[in-house]
Structure 1
Amino acid sequence: MNNIIIVEFILYFIVIIAIAYMASRTKMSHSVFLLGGKQLPGWALAFSERATGESAWLLLGFTGFVFVTGLSGIWVAIGIATGIIFAWLVLTRRFREEADKYNVLTLPDYLAIKFQAKANIIRWLISILIASFFMFYVGAQLAGAGKLFLTTFHMNETTGIIIATAVIMATAYFGGFLSVVWTDMIQSIMMLLTLVFLPIVALIYIGSNDLSISTSLVTAGEGFDSWMGGVTGFAIGVLFFNNFSWFFGYLGGQPQLSARFMALKNDREAKQGITVAIIWTLLAYAGAFIIGLAAIAMYQQGSFSDVETVLPHMILDLMPPWIAGILLAGIMAAIITTANSQLMVVTSSVSEDIIHKTLGMKLTDRQMVTLSRIIILAVGIVGMIIALTSESLLYLVVSWAWAGVGGTLSPAILMTFFWKKYSSSGLIATVVSGFVFTVLWISTPLDGIITSRFSTFFIAAIFGILFSFLLPDKKEQTG
């Protein structure tokens, strides 16, 4: 079996690297390298945004989470789907118009130009925030690659992480944003194929083997068969907010997702993107949730030393080798799409926001592209080291990054878009408080009670509002 799957993986790697290389043959200015130069269709950007937004977390982390929690895991899916739909319906047009109006390539640069009184401080703070959390985000994806190689090929995790790092760096290095989006599109379809096809096969297997999901939920453990996890009173609210709280990170604060909104050409392309993104989200999360429930019927609790390997185990158990290879490549696609997008976000923050805008280094377009490629290699190596040296769970690490970046920048974006009294001091207070409180929160037992994905959003928003009233800008902000 492994030989067939290995061949399919090799072919998959060759195809996406070839696509990335072909994209690199486009005339490559720095703006094209970082944001595509408004050359990409809306449907391609939507596929890319969805693949980037979900990552190995959806296929490995969320399916494993449902396997060990049962029906109450639905609130995670509902929170995320609601956030995605809100962002596409409400925020895409504003992001596109603002990016055009201020001629910006990155989210930090946009906020810095909007609040020019403290532009350089804002660029530094947001760039540090993004780099700090996204390095671990990249590391989490690479750790997921190691788990996939271990489960599929019984390969040493270190070897799997190194192979994945090389492919991820190559796809970002060659063509920057263009190659990332086009390879994302292919990989997004592969992810969706895995999440739609596998649950159908799993349900057929359950029916033909006289198994029952409802009976298995009852016997799996306390609360598995309850939509509220079997808790009552105040604990219901805690469970709901902890699971639903992924919603808050989608409200404009994830720069790797917002970059796709900023890259849209016009309203027509945006409408294409909205349709594709919503359909993809509903199909993918329904599929992932059903996979987790099906796994409860197929396997006993405690069957896996790492529950985040449930999905690859199910694929290997249910599928013939040639189909298994395609579906397993869908998991690898999820890892690669997110990791290379994270590399691009960190790279753009360092090259555009810090070196170009803040430090004012005068480099040609060609030199800026070369610099960005060097940064991609450096960030990729650091991410690989994090994956090799840390014992990380995908669900937890991505959750923390979601809080630190999304929970911090989402209130900043919403107030920038919709509240005229939001000030540069308020923005700085939002970023600093979000960063500090996320780190403090996840370092204490508080995160086990109320997740930082929820607390960070509201703490950052409160500090932003307070300091905007205490220290208003003397002049009206630009625009």
Structure 2
Amino acid sequence: MTGNAGILTATFAVYIAIMLGIGFVAYKRTSNLSDYILGGRTIGPGTAALSAGASDMSGWLLLGLPGYAFVAGYEATWIAAGLLTGTYLNWLIVARRLRVYSHAVNDSLTLPAYFEFRFEDKSRLLRVISAVFILLFFLFYTSSGLVAAGKLFESTFGLSYELAVVVGTVIIVSYTFFGGFLAVSWTDVIQGLLMAAALVVVPVMTLNTMGGWGEARGAMEAANPELLSFFTDVDGEALGFVAIISLLGWGLGYFGQPHILARFKAVGDDAALPTARRIAVLWSAVCLFAALMTGWVGIGYFGEAGLDDAETVFLALIQALMHPLVGGILLAAVLAAIMSTADSQLLVSSSALAEDFYKALFRRDATQSELVWVGRFAVVGIAILALIFAFNPESTVLGLVSYAWAGFGAAFGPAVILSLFWRRMNRNGALAGIIVGGITVVVYKQIDTIGLYEIIPGFILATLAIVIATLLTAEPSATIKETFDDVANRY
């Protein structure tokens, strides 16, 4: 691959130019904050589904999950099962009702704004605290994307890790800065399709080279028979209840991810959401299974030599097996995965700063143009902070994602679900749930001694906090109840 660096570079350059071109077109269609944050609520079901999937899966789908499957074998299936179940339930339970409800309560553009108007919080405390948790956990989540970008450019072009991270950051920031949600959604469609194609091609080509799944499975068994067990770890120890629940618990995170929930709110017609759900679940099923297969066939292909960094197994297979032109396109899919999530995270973070801090607390009469530019400059500022976190080359993509995923899932998941389905829920309950869920994840991460994924206690305690605080305080106003009934009657 080294001697064909020119072909690789040209392929990457063409791909990046296309993404920047999309950003420019979207820039011409962005005139107000609704356009910048939610694309004016005009996207279709296919775009919503692929954009949600691409922004969800990110670089960890092509680096983190194959890397985990490479070192853990069939054990990694539990994470994939949890994620696919969470994807389906999120689209089934949350998507349509959130789209309708967020529009009904003052056309709320952001998740913190939705909470504020849903519960008529005049103090704005609910909005501000929600925004604080968004900014906190997105620093880690965005950093995971920049770490993935660093590994990609370091592995492909031989750049130093630090320079590779900076290059990836500049590319991602460029089109997000100008194009906002439309640029992010349109590029996500291309990136989502490219990711799926790459994830299918790489294990299929590897299996063809090795002589089929039987040979690959035999090589896995020769390396370590425990890799072929769903119920033991690589050392032969039984996976206990805590381990399996922790892996399946990843699915709980979907209900609180602001960048995924934003896709639900942006759909032009809520009646199109069932179609979007079918597309999203099919895409996720294909990508998750292919990511697992990539790790498993990688075990057999690299044999005893192994890899210095398991999270580069997808990259290593491309470099070993593919023609430079094909390899360049497939490696661009890795960049696509990274960009599709990092841009969404930057956009949600910038909207939190522009809408939930700047406008809500400092400039309530700010013009739409002013808010768009505040959002744009917030993208740059947040990216710089995430870049600082990402400069540690020892960081793992999956490790950073797991922490941020748990934080969002516990802080917002129970609050979102109960706000959509429990008429009695009030502002105090929402506030208690968000605070307890977010803090539990941060604290439990430091004190855990049994290996339980922090999203589990966070989600449970947040739910209890919402119920207890709600029942101990006054019922919501008649207006809140009427709005809830109006939304419920849509179904």
Report the TM-score, using the length of structure 2 for normalisation.
0.93
The runs of at least 4 aligned residues of structure 1 exceeding 4 Å deviation read 230-235
- The one of 155, 162, 180 equivalent to 1:158 is 162
In the other structure, the counterpart of 1:455 is 457
SS at match of 1:299: helix
> 8 Å contact 1:80–1:247 — kept in the other structure?
yes
Aligned-pair CA distance for 1:277:
0.8
Tell me, in whole angstroms, the C-alpha distance in 1 between the residues paired with 2:151 and 2:91: 32
The residue number in structure 2 matching 1:229 is 232
Q: Which amino acid in 1 is paired with 2:199?
A: L
Matches within 5 A, 1:156-305: 156-207=160-211, 212-221=215-224, 223-229=226-232, 235-251=239-255, 253-300=256-303, 303-305=306-308
Q: How far apart, in 2, do the equivalents of 1:390 and 1:424 lie?
A: 42
> Deviation string for 1:99-138 (max 9, x for gaps)?
2212110111001111124551111111110100101111
Q: CA deviation at 1:93?
A: 0.9
Q: 1:411 aligns with which of 400, 410, 414?
A: 414
What SS does the corresponding residue of 2:43 show, helix, strand or coil? coil
Please report how far the alpha carbon of residue 343 of structure 1 lies from its aligned counterpart in structure 2 after TM superposition: 0.5
Match of 1:107 in 2: 111
1:79–1:244: 8 Å Cα contact kept in structure 2? yes
**Residue in 1 aligned with 2:25?**
22
SS at 1:212's partner residue? helix
The aligned runs of 1:390-405 (5 Å cut-off) are: 391-405=394-408
Q: Which residue of 57, 62, 68 maps to 1:59? A: 62
Of the three residues 83, 87, 93, the one matched with 1:84 is 87
Structure 1 residues 111 and 170: CA distance shift in structure 2, 3 A: same
Question: 2-side partners of 1:369 and 1:236: how far apart?
Answer: 50
Q: Deviations over 1:231-272 (max 9, x none)?
A: 999843122111111110112x11100000000111343233
Confirm or deny: 8 A CA contact 2:232 2:238 kept in the other structure.
no
The total of aligned residue pairs comes to 476
Instruction: Give, in whole Å, the separation in 1 of the partners of 2:380 and 2:100.
Output: 32
CA distance in 2, matches of 1:469, 1:390: 48
TM-score by length of 1: 0.95
Cα deviations across residues 310-344 of structure 1 (Å, max 9, x unaligned)? 11001111111110000010001011110010001
Relative to 1, partners in 2 of residues 1:400 and 1:27: Cα closer, same or farther, differing over 3 Å?
closer
* Distance across 2 between alignment mates of 1:187 and 1:474: 43
Cα deviation, residue 454, structure 1: 1.9
Q: Does 374-383 or 230-239 show the bigger shift?
A: 230-239
2:87 aligned partner, one-letter code? I
Is the contact between residue 96 and residue 265 of structure 1 (CA under 8 Å) also seen in structure 2? no
Contact 2:410/2:455 (8 A) holds in 1: yes
For residue 452 of structure 1, what is the amino acid of its counterpart? E
User: CA–CA distance in 2 between the matches of 1:378 and 1:224?
Assistant: 43
The equivalent residue for 1:136 is 140
Q: Does 1:362 align with 2:365?
A: yes
Which amino acid in 1 is paired with 2:397?
L
Consecutive unaligned residues in structure 1, runs of 5 or more? none
3-state SS of 2:391 partner: helix
1:221 Cα shift?
3.1
**How far has the Cα of 1:65 moved from its partner?**
0.3
After superposition, residues 425-464 of structure 1 pair within 5 angstroms as 425-446=428-449, 449-464=451-466
Which residue of 336, 342, 345 corresponds with 1:333? Answer: 336
The answer to whether the 8 A contact 2:53-2:192 is kept is yes
Q: Is the 8 A contact 2:116 2:127 kept in 1?
A: yes
Separation in structure 1 between the aligned mates of residue 476 and residue 46 of structure 2, nearest angstrom: 42
Amino acid of the structure 1 residue aligned with 2:148: G
CA gap of 1:412–1:302, structure 2 versus 1, over 3 A, is farther
- After TM superposition, give the deviation of residue 399 of structure 1 in Å: 0.3
Q: Is the 8 A contact 1:211 1:297 kept in 2?
A: no
Specify whether residues 476 and 305 from structure 1 end up closer, same or farther in structure 2 by C-alpha distance, changes over 3 A only.
Answer: farther
**Contact 1:42/1:264 (<8 A) preserved:** yes
Aligned AA for 2:216?
I
- What does the per-residue CA deviation read over 1:336-367, in whole Å, with 9 as the maximum and x for residues that have no partner? 11001000111111111122124453111111
Contact kept? 1:113, 1:119, Cα under 8 Å: no
Alpha-carbon spacing, 1:196–1:178, altered in 2? closer, same or farther (3 Å): same
The amino acid of 1:192's aligned partner reads: A
Maintained 8 Å contact 1:118/1:424: no
CA RMSD of aligned residues (A): 1.9
- How far 1:220 sits from its partner (Å)? 2.9
Q: Is the 8 A contact 1:424 1:473 kept in 2?
A: no
